Amino acid sequence: MNYRAFCMLLGIAYLLVSCGGELGSVPPPNYKNRAKVVTAVVAQATTRAVSNNSSTSSNSTQSNKSQSINVKAELWADNWFALYLDDQLIKADSVPITTERSFNAETITFPATYPMHFNVILKDYIQNDTGLEYIGTDRQQIGDGGFIGQFTDADTGEIIGVTNEWWKCTVIHTAPLDNACAAEANPVAGQGACGFTSIPEPTDWKSPTFDTNSWLAASLYSAAQVSPKEGYDTIAWKPEAKFIWGPDLKTNNTVLCSVTVYKP
Q: Give me the residues that bind Ca ion (CB under 5 A), please.
A: 78-79, 124, 143
Residue 223: how many other CB atoms lie within 10 Å: 13
Nearer to Ca ion, 206 or 250 (CB): 250
Name all contacts of 190-193 with Cβ < 8 Å and 24+ positions apart: 190/129
- To Ca ion, the closest distance from the beta carbon of 79 in angstroms equals 5
- To Ca ion, the closest distance from the beta carbon of 125 in angstroms equals 5
- To Ca ion, the closest distance from the beta carbon of 101 in angstroms equals 9
Using alpha carbons only, what angle is made at residue 240 by residues 29 and 71, rounded to the nearest 5 degrees? Answer: 120
- To Ca ion, the closest distance from the beta carbon of 202 in angstroms equals 24
Nearer to Ca ion, 151 or 196 (CB): 196
Residue 153 CA: distances (Å) to CA of 76, 130, 263, 264: 18, 41, 11, 11
Residue 169 CA: distances (Å) to CA of 32, 124, 218: 17, 15, 5
Nearer to Ca ion, 145 or 161 (CB): 145
Q: State whether residue 101 is helix, strand or coil.
A: coil
